[in-house]
A = this chain, B = another copy of it.
Amino acid sequence: MRELTVSLGERSYPVLIGAGLVDGCPALVDLAAGRQVAVVTNDVVAPLYGERFARWLRPASSEFIEIVLPDGERHKDWPSLQRVFDQLLARRFDRRCLVVALGGGVIGDLAGFAAAVYQRGVEFVQVPTTLLSQVDSSIGGKTAINHPAGKNMIGAFHQPRLVVADVATLATLPARELSAGLAEMIKHGAISDPAYLAQLERDCDRLLSCDAAALTAAIERSCEIKAAVVAADERESGVRATLNFGHTFGHAIESGLGFGTWLHGEAVAAGMVMAADLSRRLGMLDSGAVERLRGAIAAARLPVAGPAWDSGRYLELMAVDKKAEQGIPKFVLLSALGHALVRSVPEPELRATLEQCVR
């Protein structure tokens, strides 16, 4: 098992990475001891890991409930959140209870947000079971639900007390979701570590075939990068915004297609190619780097272009992005593979990218 720390002063917490952690994790038993524990999960994950997980966690708790939500990004909404509150209140869970998110990014974001606002905030633990959530969304305390007008529009910064990433759970992951996770890993390489990007290019086939050693090494490096960025800028007032590389375009794609049509990682993948293309048009990045990134994304079996909408549609969708300031979106761009920065862009170059980088 590997362990690293997200350093945030008194809100610091460990990230544990290893095989078999859903069958037992002493750190989680310690945290749950004598407390009311609510495991929030979905109807795909529950049959796979729910009982294996409850077997050792239930005896540690004073009271144990499992809250099973419907699977899918479209359920990352108020009715699902309400179901969590209804069940916590029906069982009279108090403000010392512990919420455990067992599932992918949707469950982590939603259960984390439920914990952030239930009785003005209770503690929670992330147990991510998808590659994307293990390397990205489970770390850093961003929690949210979607609004019909935009993704993650309602949320909070609320750090977990512990993150438990079991790489063995990835064996049951559909190939498409494995690729979607790789998108965020490629992002970590693209914005801050060219050597890691090269590692992902080299290990791509092993990662796609779920090789445990390759996955563990890559997940650990991605978690290190994510943890360092979060430690430097918890509330996204500076460097943390670079983690949104590909996300301004990606959110527009997800929102325009309807949440859940493309996986988040798929939309970010296309968005990264678009952001790299835009960087090139602005004279910041050479064509070779753009092509190398596009190649890495294609090798991971991810889309390299967005839906064929006209640029006006994209601009409209992007203007409600959280990073937009009074309607003018800012973008995370690359000045080299491994170096990202945030800036406003002129509309003509943006429109050119939107016209070129679509199917």
* A119 interface residue (CB < 8 Å to B): yes
* A157 interface residue (CB < 8 Å to B): yes
With beta carbons under 8 angstroms apart, the residue of B90, B113, B121, B324 that contacts A94 is B324
Main secondary structure of the interface of A (DSSP, over half): mixed
* Alpha-carbon distance A23/B316, docked complex (angstroms): 38
Q: Give the segment of A81-89, A190-198, A270-278 that binds chain B.
A: A81-89
Name the distance in Å between A137's Cβ and chain B's nearest Cβ.
14
A320 near B156 with CB under 8 A, answer no
Q: Which residues of B contact A153 (CB under 8 A)?
A: 85, 89, 118-119
Name the distance in Å between A315's Cβ and chain B's nearest Cβ.
12
* A343 interface residue (CB < 8 Å to B): no
Q: Which residues of B contact A86 (CB under 8 A)?
A: 147, 149
Given the known A-B contacts A120-B157, A121-B157, are A89 and B320 also in contact in the complex, defined by CB atoms under 8 Å? yes
Interface size on A, residues (CB 8 A): 38
Q: Which of A101-154 contact B (CB under 8 A)?
A: 113, 116-121, 142, 144, 147, 149-150, 152-154
With beta carbons under 8 angstroms apart, the residue of B85, B121, B142, B149 that contacts A147 is B85
Known: A89-B150, A92-B326, A117-B156. 14 other contacts (CB 8 A): A78-B78, A85-B147, A85-B153, A86-B147, A86-B149, A89-B149, A92-B324, A94-B325, A117-B155, A119-B153, A119-B322, A120-B142, A120-B157, A120-B322
Residues of chain A touching chain B, judged by Cβ–Cβ distance below 8 Å, are: 36, 62-63, 78, 82, 85-86, 89-90, 92, 94-96, 113, 116-121, 142, 144, 147, 149-150, 152-157, 319-320, 322, 324-327
